[in-house]
Copies of this chain bind each other. A is one copy, B any other.
Amino acid sequence: MPKVVDAEERRVGLTDAAARLIARAGIGAATMRDVAAEAGVTTGALTHYFADKRELLLRTFEASLDGRRAKRPERDPADAALSLHDALAGALPIDDDRRRHWMVTVAFCAQAAGDSELAAAQRDAYREFRAHVTALLSRIAPGDAPQELAERLIAQVDGVAMQALFDPESWPAARQLAALAHALETANLHALSAVPGLD
């Protein structure tokens, strides 16, 4: 057997480079050569781990999703209300990580037009997020039509995110979090009276 290398770890390094490039300079700047250079390798390594550019982009999107999901249980001490707040705050571009994820998502959406497989990936990502939020909600306020409530909360957060992405001056992190707090308060979730850590 030859040189041993964790293939999955390599892929992460490459998709990470792609995500960085996309967030910094847009999808147009994410050429094979430039992604490889950003990762400190050449196209030979890239093509070794991804069949083509389309797969690289798909994996980059999925890796970005995984990265977000990985941060979920960071502070998930069976406090569903806090978990709910964190889950929704995860969709707000309030730091570099989350902003990068949004840029990757937008780039991916732009590419998903006319590509049904990519479109399905984006759709499924949303459905998974909806299911996650719905599950949290039914733990907090069961019987309150959690599905529709989840949709509304997610819509609220995503709408703020879309505005904040290209107008960060109008939307500092505090304002985005305030919008989230307001949405949670008016969501007639009497179970969570006040979410700490908001100021």
Contacts and interface: CB of A to CB of B under 8 A. Distances in A.
Contact of A113 (B22, B115, B157): B22
A162 to B, nearest CB: 5
A23 B163 contact: no
Contact of A110 (B27, B163, B183): B27
B155 A113 contact: no
A109 interface: yes
Mostly, the A contact residues are: helix
B159 A114 contact: no
Interface in A116-133: 119, 122-123, 126-127, 130
B163 A113 contact: no
Could you say which of A23, A154, A158 has the most chain B C-beta atoms within 10 Å of its C-beta?
A158
Interface of A: 22-29, 103, 106-107, 109-115, 119, 122-123, 126-127, 130, 151-152, 154-160, 162-163, 165-167, 170, 179, 182-183, 186
Q: Report, nearest first, the 5 A-B pairs whose CB atoms are least far apart.
A: A155-B159, A110-B110, A159-B159, A25-B114, A26-B113
5 contacts: A26-B111, A26-B114, A151-B163, A151-B179, A162-B162
